[in-house]
Structure formats: structure tokens, C-alpha cells
């Protein structure tokens, strides 16, 4: 399958030996580390929102934050899909990934405030 408007000067993977098992493992571990940091960030912020009453009341009062989070995620997805050169630029890609994580966290927080916290396994003192 051919790429449309492919420019070899913008290819940051040129010279990478994807046939090498070590290169593939390094790439997979890098991707999984990034995903782990995203999940940890989202979980930490969500826990803060669920257990701190002013933060929870903020998301209950401003219920439309879920639409802001969803809209931001969709806009960033379209930017990355339509502008492939931006996704290949390391700094821009990192900033967009961080913004995507922020919008996903806003969406998760705005949805989870409507659920009751069940602390059955919370250690009793």
C-alpha cells in the first residue's frame, strides 16, 4: 500500500531495523510505559475528584465538562489523522498526547462523579 504525499525527509523511522527483535521490544516497552503514565495520571486525578468534595461539586455543577472533554479528544484525533506531519514531529506529538490525556481525564472525571463510592475493602481502623 502506498502512502499519499510521502516525503522521505520527514520519515523519522528511516534506518530503524524493525526486523530486529530488540528494536521491537524497546518500541513496545516505550509505548506501554507512555500508556501506563497516562492511566496513572487519569486515575490519580479521578481519585482526587471523587474524594475531595469541592472538586466533585465542581464537576457536578459544571456538568457540560464531559462535552468539553469529548470535543477536545475528537479535535485532537482529527488533527493527528488529517495532519500526519504533526504526528511525526516529536515535540508537537508529545504536546498533543498530553492535551489528549487532559481531555480524557476531564471526561472520565465528569462521568465518575455521578457514581457512588463503595469502600467495602477500605481498611477499618
Tell me the pLDDT of the chain (125 aa) as tens digits.
Answer: 444 554 555 555 555 666 777 888 888 999 999 999 999 999 999 999 999 999 999 999 999 999 999 999 999 999 988 988 887 888 998 999 999 999 999 999 999 999 887 766 666 55
Q: pTM (2 decimals)?
A: 0.76
Residue ranges of domains in the chain: 26-112
CA 37 to chain centre: 9
Element (H, E) at 24: helix 21-51
Amino acid at each position: 500500500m502506498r502512502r499519499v504525499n510521502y516525503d522521505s525527509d520527514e520519515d523519522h523511522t528511516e534506518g530503524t531495523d524493525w526486523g530486529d527483535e530488540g528494536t521491537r521490544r524497546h518500541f513496545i516497552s516505550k509505548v506501554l510505559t507512555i500508556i501506563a503514565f497516562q492511566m496513572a495520571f487519569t486515575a490519580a486525578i479521578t481519585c482526587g475528584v471523587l474524594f475531595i468534595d469541592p472538586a466533585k461539586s465542581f464537576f457536578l455543577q459544571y456538568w457540560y465538562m464531559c462535552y468539553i472533554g469529548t470535543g477536545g479528544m475528537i479535535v485532537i484525533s482529527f488533527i493527528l489523522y488529517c495532519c500526519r506531519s504533526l504526528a511525526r514531529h516529536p515535540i508537537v506529538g508529545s504536546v498533543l498526547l498530553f492535551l489528549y490525556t487532559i481531555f480524557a481525564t476531564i471526561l472520565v472525571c465528569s462521568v465518575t462523579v455521578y457514581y457512588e463510592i463503595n469502600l467495602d475493602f477500605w481498611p477499618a481502623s
